[in-house]
């Protein structure tokens, strides 16, 4: 069965970015992100893809990028032009490769793909950054999400954070 999850690092106000960059780079969180996504499929918006090093897809995983631009080309990525196309393509590839699907941002893509996701892996940072302009949809019970488990508190420089695993209460299956 195909599993589609969201993965993100959020601050205490559920902010995820500023000026098309992330708010902070926590080395251990990058390892956590790699552990989940390497060998699997990530779905990203065009702006997030362009925020990656060199504006290029992340290595060792299938990158699906969503854009409305029909002429958009980026090497080593699958380019799609709607949310539905992204979901269908990701499921097809996931079945061919037995791979999991991770929705990896940014805000526009999380908000539109939340409906397809059953899990969310959130690095929750106990700090509110002064500047932010991109936000994750806050995962509350009202939206159907429950916090299933969380890690011990961790520390990077003076920043405290934890890993959270949320699941959707009313699961529906993607086939």
Instruction: Give the footprint of ligand NAP on this chain (CB under 6 A).
Output: 8-9, 16-17, 20-22, 44-48, 51, 66-69, 81-83, 104-109, 112, 134
35 or 169: whose CB is closer to ligand NAP?
35
Nearer to ligand NAP, 22 or 167 (CB): 22
Q: How far is the CB of 133 from ligand NAP (least distance, A)?
A: 7
**Shortest distance, position 1 Cβ to ligand NAP, whole Å:** 25
What b-and-e string marks burial along 32-69, b requiring 16 or more CB atoms within 10 Å of the CB?
Answer: bbeebbeebbbbbbbbbbebeeeeebbeebbbbbbbee
**Would the CA dihedral through 152, 156, 160, 163 be positive or negative?**
negative
Nearer to ligand NAP, 30 or 143 (CB): 30
Residue 41 tokens read as: 């499929």
What is the torsional sign of CA 169, 108, 30, 59? positive
Instruction: Tell the smallest beta-carbon distance from residue 72 to ligand NAP (Å).
Output: 6
């Amino acid at each position: 069965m195909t599993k589609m999850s969201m993965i993100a690092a959020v601050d205490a106000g559920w902010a995820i970015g500023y000026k098309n960059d992330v708010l902070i780079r926590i080395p251990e969180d990058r390892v956590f992100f790699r552990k989940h996504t390497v060998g699997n499929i990530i779905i990203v918006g065009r702006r997030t893809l362009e925020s990656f090093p060199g504006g290029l897809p992340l290595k060792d995983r299938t990158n699906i990028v969503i854009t409305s631009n029909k002429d958009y080309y980026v090497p080593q990525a699958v380019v799609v032009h709607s949310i539905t196309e992204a979901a269908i393509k990701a499921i097809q590839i996931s079945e061919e490769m037995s791979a999991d699907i991770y929705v990896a941002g940014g805000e526009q893509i999380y908000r539109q793909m939340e409906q397809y996701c059953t899990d969310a892996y959130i690095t929750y940072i106990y700090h509110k950054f002064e500047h932010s302009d991109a936000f994750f949809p806050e995962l509350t019970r009202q939206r159907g999400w429950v916090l299933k488990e969380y890690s011990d508190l961790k520390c990077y420089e003076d920043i405290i954070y934890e890993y959270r695993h949320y699941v959707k209460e009313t699961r529906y299956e993607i086939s």
